[in-house]
Structures are given as C-alpha cells and as structure tokens.
Amino acid sequence: MRNGVPSPGPVIRTVLGDIEPARAGHTQPHEHVLSDMSAIIKPWGVGHVSAAHAVADAPGGGVEPELSVTARRLAEQPVELANYDAIRREVLNLDNLRLTSEDDAIAELELYRRAGGGCVVDSSPIGMGRDPIGLARVSRSTGVHIVMGSGYYSRQYHPTGLDQVSEAAISAEIVSDLTEGAGSTEVRAGIIGEIGLSWPPHPTELKVLRAACQAQVATGAALQIHPGRDPRAPIEAMAVVEKYGADPGRTIMSHVDRTLWAPEDLTALAETGCYLELDLFGQESSYYAFNPDARRPNDRTRIEWLATLTDQGFGAKLLVSQDICQKVYLRKYGGPGYGHVLANVIPLMRRMGFTATDVRRLTVENPAAALSLERMNR
C-alpha cells in the first residue's frame, strides 16, 4: 500500500515499506546487517565460554563439545589483526559473531551502495538479534533497501519454550511479521527465513519449517531455508516443503555451495524447482569449523557451477550472495565487505564468459522475482 492506496502490481516489502521490484537494483538475497550469532558459544560463568552445544550437525563430528582454555581465551578476545586468521578459521569468537553496531552497518552498506548495490536481505530471524527498528534506521541512513527475515533459526538459537509452542501459533507469528509488523513494531518482514535446520533436523526445527510452509501458503512470500550441513539435507527439506503444500518455486535453498559438492546433486536439487542460492562468495577456505569434512569451493568454482546450471536450463532459479554474518568479513576488519560480488565476482564472471545479460539476471532479475509479493495484505 502506498499512501493508503493498494499497490497495483507485485512489490518487494522492505523495512521502510513496499517498493516496486524494478527499484531494488543489484540485490544480495542472503546477508546479515545487524545480527548476533554468539548464542552458539554457550555461557559458562562470568567471563567464560564453552561450546557444549555448538555444532552437532557436521558429519565429521563438528566442533569439540567443550572449548579448551586456549580456545576460550580466543573466544573472548576482540577481533584484531593479530588474531584475524585464527578467528576466520575457528569462527567461535564472541566479538566476531556480533554485528551489533549500527555505525558499522551504515558504513559498510554505504560502501555497498557506492559499489552499485541497491538492496540486501537481512536473513536474521528471531533468535539472532533481529532488529526491525535498527534495520530501518540503517536503511534510511544509507539509501539501501533492506528486506527483513522472519521465523526461527536452528535449535541453538531457539528461545526457551519454543518446543511447546504450536505449529499454528508459529505460523501465525510469521504471517503477522509479514503483514502487520515484527513484534511490537510496524516494521514488516519481506521474506520467511532463514529457517534453520541442523543435520539431522531437530523435531522443533521441523515444526518451525512446517509452520513456515503454512505461512508461505498464506502469504505467498518467499521461504528461505538454511539446510543442515549434509548433502542429503536440501532434498529432505524440499520434501517437507512439497508435503506441506508450500511452493517449491517460491523456496530458496541457501548455502548450497557449502552443502552440495557433486554436480549431480546440484542438478537434482534444481529439478525440485527451488532457487539455488550460492551465498558464500568471498569465503574461500578449506578450513570450515562447522563441518571439517565439507569441500567448500572458491569463487571461480562457484561461477563454474552457475555456468553449468545455466546451461542445464536453471538460469532463472539461481541466486548469489555473500552471507556476511561475522566481523572478519566486514571491510572495517579486513574482510571483503558486502561489495565483493560487485567489485570482484562480476568482473570474474565476465572474464569467464558471462554476458552482461547473464549477470543482470543473476544479480537483479532473479532476486527481484524471488522477493516479489503478489497477493499478501498490503
């Protein structure tokens, strides 16, 4: 609705209101602007941390169930040049996992805007420090359109008692976030997700996914899924989507570039009709704390996968992003910043044979189509 008049066509719902999809421009559909992922490091007395339930879905056993004294010391340090490499590899650092500074967010998104960015999705759901009012301030200050997420992340981030909340109540909460406003605010979400799943999925996570499917049916909003860290996870999640009546074509499977390593698995997922989101551009490392057995590609390999999937006829269902959720990936701390796709990936795509039309489809047209809302309460 614009000035009290229902919008005549599809819109993208941002934290400052609805916009026409054509106004979004270059869009990165999976980022975190204001978020706090430090819940993965469980408190153990004042000034101490452990990871008793840090990561339990990695096939290779994941992170140690308890942090050593050395690891605890690293977890408590501020991010700085001397520990940057260790934190980038180990991840479990309280300061690193907290993107809580609006000043930093404004500075980083201003750089993104200057590089040509128009819109980002903040995929932080409830439990990750989602900040509707803060996101609105950042968007207003930078001129970057921000789409806010809704729902719940994986079990480490669930509020106490969520296992007792009914599926219908969770679905109603998501719908309200999208149509009325998040919590006590009037700032509305524009996407369902990212809905977090572990491997194997926890029963409460599956309940949340079913509720998210119901909300997707009710609103038509895109459903963004964070799959467990196992190659079987995306297809199993899509089976739930189909079983509970959600639209596979309005579903975004995140993090496929850390989950699927075989070309045939990428093709099989694409055949379900969902969007395949390669959203870890700029994160190039063989050392992945959340799953030591994962084979994470570099950006050139990601682009090769995009080319193969495009040749197979799935070009309209591909999305690219960076999933910045740690300080080490911000420009201020020596990382690539939100503008990495614009500054580095797109030129590499062009050198590797992508046309300007191909790039526009990946970075402008596909995310606009995924985020567009047709029938939801305006």
* Domain housing 182: 21-36+105-371
194 has binding-site annotation: yes
Distance, CA of 144 to CA of 27 (rounded, Å): 10
| 133, containing H or E segment | helix 132-142
Residues 50 and 195 in one domain: no
Residues 231 and 359 in one domain: yes
Residue 237: how many CB atoms within 10 A of its CB? 25
Residues 53 and 125 in one domain: no
Task: Report whether the peptide linkage leading into residue 374 is cis, meaning its omega lies within 30 degrees of zero.
Answer: no
The reported pLDDT for the residue numbered 42 is 64
The Cα diameter of the chain in Å comes to 60
pTM of the model: 0.93
176 close to 168: Cβ distance less than 8 angstroms: no
- The CATH code of the domain that includes 306 is 3.20.20.140
145 has binding-site annotation: no
Task: Report whether the peptide linkage leading into residue 125 is cis, meaning its omega lies within 30 degrees of zero.
Answer: no
30 has binding-site annotation: yes
Residues 115 and 240 in one domain: yes
Residue 143: how many CB atoms within 10 A of its CB? 11
The reported pLDDT for the residue numbered 295 is 82
Between the alpha carbon of residue 333 and those of residues 84, 294, 330, 353, the distances in Å are 8, 26, 6, 33
226 has binding-site annotation: yes
Q: Is 330 helix (H, G, I), strand (E, B) or coil?
A: coil
Instruction: Answer positive or negative: Cα dihedral of 226, 155, 124, 251.
Output: positive
The reported pLDDT for the residue numbered 376 is 62
Decide the pairing of beta strands 223-226 and 192-196. Answer: parallel
What are the mean pLDDT values of the chain's consecutive 10-residue runs (378 residues total)? 60 98 99 96 44 40 60 91 92 95 99 99 97 99 99 96 98 98 98 97 98 98 98 98 99 98 96 99 87 87 98 99 98 98 99 99 99 76
Nearest to 303 by CA among 335, 261, 345: 345
Residues 166 and 51 in one domain: no
For 156-187, the DSSP string reads: GGPPTTGGGS-HHHHHHHHHHHHHT-STTSSP
26 has binding-site annotation: no
53 has binding-site annotation: no
Is residue 100, in this structure, part of any structural domain at all? no
Q: Which two tokens stand for residue 355?
A: 């046309």
Distance, CA of 112 to CA of 291 (rounded, Å): 30
